[in-house]
Amino acid sequence: MSGERRAGREAAAAASSASCARRGAAATRGPAGRRMPASQDNFQGWKTQPASLSAGAEQTQKKESVATQLMKHEKEVGVPSNELGAASAATDQKEQSTSEIRRDYVYSSTGRPEKMDMIKSLVTDQDASRNCELYLPVSSSCSAMESSEDSEEDMYRDAEEIEREKILLCETSSSEYKLSVSPEMDIMEYCTKEWRGNTPVAKRMRKGYEAVAQKFASIRRVRGDNYCALRATLFQALSQASQLPSWLQSEDFTMLPENLLSKYDWIKQWQLKQKLGRKMGEISDEIKEYLILLRKKWKNISEIKGPIEKQEACDKLFKNEEEEYSLYEALKFLMLNTAIELYNDDKNGRRVPVFSWLLFARDTSSNPCQLMHNHLNHIGHSGGLEQVEMFLLAYALQYTIQVYRLYKYSTDEFITLYPNEPEEDWPVVTLITEDDRHYNIPVRMCQETML
């Protein structure tokens, strides 16, 4: 093997290690990294300027040179470039292989928000919990595949043969990564594939999957970007929708953006997703468009009677990237509307759920304006949903989100409900998570469970 090829392989391995390590910090949004002034008593008097970056965030910016070198690599596999800020974290992982990084999560308990005595620790430990490793897709990058090849094997293969294999692997990886929700597979087969070791974490995960397998036969992997929680929840809700929810039937539903903007001028700083090839319109018109699309798709799918046809319609929707991401933006705006309602109810002395106190107890979201600037605007871009925001999503959709938290197996938090005391008439969707960051979908409820 020539010196030039050997140098190229070392560079590819370094890029792979950086890409893998990036997964761990990409969605760490910064409850501690962004800090806003304390909220004013006057709801109209909230500040409208986003908080400044902390020293930690500035440190991340200093590493942009490393991230820039990886830009081309990231685009090839379809990973959002805004996840590159943590690329330099690879230096902490240089003793680990790609598969080891996948399994060596750092888990931290966030407690149960519904318990009053846990609220303070939830707020305090929130930043620490954001340092957990993200789920790393099996087909993470072309460079990872290249670097995993045995160098001794290369000595006995023609250079053209090696190059053809690399191109094939890259094409396969890229196409699979773009799948929002992959086809179903046996849940224990998936577990065996993902957790082969004998570490305490691997054993706990296998036990957790075995417990889930008592209820569900299969699993569908969800694309692990920063929209993951929204994607998994919405996919499950639409897959089992039999009617249009009452809040979607309201005549004022599509007027929501206009009504809120007339009251709260700071909503003009809502971050809209960029649309290629066309100029952005007024913010209220754009959000209204998202809400109309959400109601249309929900109505169309709920009217499909056959389960197979309904599933096919969902699969088709979640392959249309433009429509899919528009739906997520609609959900985020509904979360903001719900947060405003809860905040006002609390200020007016009305009873609110406990999670609402926690939501506005954070330094970075002491009022809805800060929540928008420091959290909701970043969901899908530089961060995903935090635990307390899962409660907010559940209230916005009026759905109970039941989550099997596998790393909490054998504790009373193994099965967590968002909210913990849901309304009886709220439908239930079920998700699986290994780390409270990435969510997958269990499907095909076992016959005994159904009975």
CA dist 402 and 384 (Å) reads 18
Q: Which residues pair with 445 in a beta bridge?
A: 216
* Chain centroid, CA 367 distance in Å: 23
User: Of 122, 141, 34, which is closest to residue 84 (Cα–Cα)?
Assistant: 141
* Chain centroid, CA 133 distance in Å: 13
CA dist 19 and 298 (Å) reads 36
CA dist 272 and 328 (Å) reads 11
CA distances to 7, 293, 338, 377 from 343, rounded to whole Å, are: 58, 27, 9, 18
User: Of 181, 285, 279, 287, which is closest to residue 227 (Cα–Cα)?
Assistant: 181
Helix axis angle, 387-397 relative to 228-239, nearest 10°?
30
Per the annotation, the verdict on 225 as an active-site residue is yes
Around Cβ 265, how many Cβ atoms within 10 Å? 12
CA dist 342 and 289 (Å) reads 25
Helix axis angle, 321-347 relative to 256-263, nearest 10°?
50
Catalytic residue among 228, 314, 375, 436: 228
- How many residues are present in the chain? 451
What phi, psi does 413 have (nearest 5°)? Answer: -105, 10
Q: Which residues pair with 372 in a beta bridge?
A: none
CA distances to 413, 438, 439 from 408, rounded to whole Å, are: 6, 15, 14
Q: Taken in order 13, 17, 23, 26, is the CA torsion positive or negative?
A: negative
Around Cβ 143, how many Cβ atoms within 10 Å? 25
Residue type, 252: D
∠ CA 80-340-223 to the nearest 5 degrees? 25
Catalytic residue among 73, 191, 225, 375: 225
- Which 3 state secondary structure label does DSSP give 432? strand
Per the annotation, the verdict on 228 as an active-site residue is yes
Helix axis angle, 321-347 relative to 387-397, nearest 10°?
90
What residues act catalytically? 225, 228, 438
